[in-house]
Amino acid sequence: MPLSSLPASLLDGAALAVTIIVFAVLWHLKRSRKAGFGMRVIIATVLGIVLGIIAAGHTTYVAVAGTVWSQVMSAVVVPLLLFSVIASITNLGESVRLRSIATRTVMLLLLNTLTASLLTLALAVVFHVGRGFRYELPQDYTAREVPGIVDTVTGLFPSNLIGDWASNRIVPVVLFALLVAVAYNAVAADEAGRALVRPFKAFVDAGNAVMAKMTQIIVGFTPYAVVSLIASAVSSSDVTTLLPLLLVLVVAYLAMSMQLFLVQPLLLAAFTRLHPMPFFKAFWPAGVVAFTSESSIGTIPVTVRQLRSAGVDDDVASFVAGLGANLGMPGCAGVWPMLLAVFAVNAQGLQYTPAQYAFLVMLTLLVSIGTVGVPGTATITATSLFAAAGLPVAFIALVQPISQIADMGRTALNVAGAANTAVIVAATERRLDMDAYHALRAVADDDDRTVSGIDAGASDSLSLRSVAQAPVAADAAVDGMTDTSGATRAAPDALGSAAPARVPAGATAAVNLLGFTPAAALADDDLCGLR
């Protein structure tokens, strides 16, 4: 009897049974410690693809695990965000240091978007994307509303914290937390002020540790979610709807691959002289989660975890990874809107001059800044670009069949850009553990750390890891800081004072265990594709 003749409910149940067996295998690998977190994610990816092919069209029950994981991860975002942002900024301490880290982060994130836009433009022009494409613009397409600049700016600021929380307006919540943290630093500027706010700091650090531990528990289920999400995505794919837009999809992934594996490593090497291979080794699990879940909310904790394993200071990792979820997204704000714009230009047979293409690049960068914090980033930036350039917005609807597949790569590239920026910022700010980056010394896994993050070797709530000097060109004149073993004479602690030359064996950063933070989530419309 052919399988197609069996009841659909029976096939759905069989797919669920196979999924449970796969989950059991993953659990055994974790229990027996035969495979680390990254390896389990890779295994989950392969098994998810196989399951999606075998159970094509029958993953109704299989998808439940991934859906539940995504919802639970989303539920912790706002409280985790509040505690983590306040803890991170109060740990950074001096406003000068905060300004330095923030400035470097913003500039590097925007540079990432600019290079992605230029690269996509070059590839789209070379491959003549859209030329000869037969189309009929949908008459019932309603363009996504692009907020005016005044509405965008005023909407970023908190008006009612509870209302913003309930409405999943994440950016106002983040700005409120930043304001609280800046106020704390101002009060704690002297000894009397520090004594006054010490209970508040203890509460924030305790809340941050509890929320971070909660996130670690949820992140631990990532391999199971990857199986569910990938199987569902593969099962629901319809190749016939993709054929007319295959070239657009190919160029999109070519541009994203070159940005990820060529441009970003060049930026890393140019600013820090670091070899990119350790970065990719550390980033891989976060990239898989981003690709399969298409969710920046679900990926940020994993990204911060992997950045920690690569030696990036906790506070820098959480700050940069979170900010990168809303600003300077090379996939959603660089590659996608530029590719669709060239597609529309060629499909209509328009002849653009180099100056007009340069104007498109400038507009792409501007709209990526002007839509910070607006849900549905890829669609909004594309709509803004089309409106500014006078292109028919309805063209955006034509690419809907490939939007979800492209969104996987867009999300992965966004997360990679933020992670790459975090490593550069940490290195240039001398907050990168070089031994950990080059895998000469292991950083304790979150699963092996205590809830407070303080073990016998840590002295207090502001202790830092040993920080080695990155070989940054701008800091070449600084000598005598690093010996041949990678030890440092002294590194600034969170308040700018000198830390011991080397943290004793077993010591770890005490606070902000998983440091999930700034501005990350795009609320309930986190996916940046048109859906």
User: In the chain, count of helices (H) and strands (E)?
Assistant: 21, 0
Domain membership of residue 233 (yes or no) is yes
Residues present in the chain in total: 531
Number of domain units in the chain: 1
Mean pLDDT of the chain: 74
Among residues 363, 224, 303, the alpha carbon closest in space to that of 520 is found at 303
CA distance 51 to 14: 11
Whether the CB-CB separation of 107 and 325 falls below 8 Å is answered with no
Q: Are the CB atoms for 66 and 225 separated by under 8 Å?
A: yes
Q: Does 114 fall in a domain?
A: yes
pLDDT (0 to 100) of residue 443: 59
Q: Say how far apart CA 530 and CA 283 lie, in whole Å.
A: 27
The whole-number average pLDDT for the span 435-455 is: 57
Residue type for position 331: G
Q: What is the largest CA-CA distance in the chain?
A: 81
Residue 500, in any domain of the structure: no
Tens of pLDDT, residues 56-76: 878 888 888 888 877 776 677
Range ranked top by mean pLDDT from 130-144, 192-206, 225-239, 250-264: 250-264
**Residues whose CB falls within 8 Å of the CB of residue 87, separated by 6 or more in sequence, listed in order:** 204, 205, 208, 511, 512, 515
The domain in which residue 376 lies consists of 62-135+145-445
Contact 306, 419 (CB under 8 A): yes
266 in a structural domain? yes
pLDDT band at 482 (very low <50, low <70, confident <90, very high): very low
User: pLDDT (tens digit, 9 = 90+) per residue, 15-33?
Assistant: 889 989 999 999 998 888 8
Task: Report the C-alpha gap between 224 and 21 in whole angstroms.
Answer: 11
Bridge partners, residue 482, by sequence: 488
Quote the pLDDT of residue 407.
85
Residue 30 lies in a domain: no
Does a structural domain hold residue 386? yes
Residue 503 lies in a domain: no
- The answer to whether residue 207 sits within a structural domain is yes
Q: How far apart are CA 233 and CA 224, in angstroms?
A: 14
Question: Of all helices (H) and strands (E), which one includes residue 336?
Answer: helix 336-347
CATH classification at residue 312: 1.10.3860.10
Closest CA to 326 of 521, 149, 461: 521
468 beta partners? 432
Please give the Cα distance from 405 to 329 (Å, whole number).
17
| 126-151 residue pLDDT tens | 999 988 776 655 555 554 555 555 66
Hey, CA dihedral for 57, 60, 66, 67, is it positive or negative? positive
**Alpha-carbon Rg of the chain, whole angstroms?**
24
Q: Is the pLDDT at 417 greater than 60, yes or no?
A: yes
pLDDT tens figures, 281-318: 999 888 988 887 777 666 778 888 899 999 998 878 88
| Contact call for residues 312 and 283 (beta carbons, < 8 A) | no
Q: What's the pLDDT tens digit per position in 498-530?
A: 333 333 333 333 333 333 333 333 333 445 533
Query: What's the angle, vertex CA 235, arms to CA 231 and CA 240, rounded to 5?
Result: 145
Per-residue pLDDT reduced to its tens digit, 427-437 = 998 889 999 99
**Cβ pair 203, 26 in contact under 8 A:** no
For 290-335, give the secondary structure using H, E and C: HHHHCCHHHHHHHHHHHHHHCCECHHHHHHHHHHCCCCCCHHHHHH
CA atoms within 13 A on the CB side of 105: 26
Of 324, 334, 226, give the one whose Cα is nearest residue 522: 324
93 pLDDT higher than 70: no
What average pLDDT does the segment 96-108 reach? 81
Q: Do residues 529 and 407 make contact, with C-beta atoms less than 8 angstroms apart?
A: yes
| pTM of the shown model | 0.63
* pLDDT exceeds cutoff 90 at 260: yes
Q: What is the DSSP string of 235-291?
A: HT--GGGTGGGHHHHHHHHHHHHHIIIIIHHHHHHHHH---SHHHHHHHHHHHHHHH
